[in-house]
Amino acid sequence: MQPSTPPAELLAIDAYLGMWEDYAVASETADWQSPLLDDHATGEALSVMSRGLYASHYNGEVAKGRPVLNPEVSSASPPADPTTVVISDCGDSSNWLTYDEATGEVIDDEPVGRRSITATVELQADGTWKVTGFAVRGVGSC
């Protein structure tokens, strides 16, 4: 990140990275009720993460490792004093694998690799920045 990046954009990127770290930590135990999840996400983004973790919990799956992320700001609005920032990323899930919780064996039916990610990060009433929505495309999309 260049030193000339505006503060709002830096805070939005921090929220985006924080969301993925919170999700990765919760994925280690498939904790769909983790209090970390709403630290950096709200709305649809929070709902998507909770539902995904609940499905993992229900199926006896956990995840280990971390995604490799390279976020960049696509847009910020309004330009003078942004309250919404759209982030584009090409995240790599190669080092973030799903395991059977009971056996500890890798579940290799899920493709891993580089995926296009788009996220919307918004300034909240309390002054924090949180991811409000995101879309993850298929492996090979970036």
Domain boundaries, the chain: 7-139
Give which of 132, 118, 124 is closest to 8, Cα–Cα.
Answer: 124
CATH 3.60.20.10 fits 7-139, yes or no: no
pLDDT tens digits along 63-87? 999 999 999 999 999 988 999 999 9
Q: Is 55 helix (H, G, I), strand (E, B) or coil?
A: helix
Give which of 44, 9, 37, 30 is closest to 107, Cα–Cα.
Answer: 30
- With beta carbons less than 8 A apart as the criterion, state whether 23 and 37 touch: yes
pLDDT tens digits along 7-63? 999 999 999 999 999 999 999 999 999 999 999 999 999 999 999 999 999 999 999
Residue 92 corresponds to which tokens in the numbers above? Answer: 């790599």
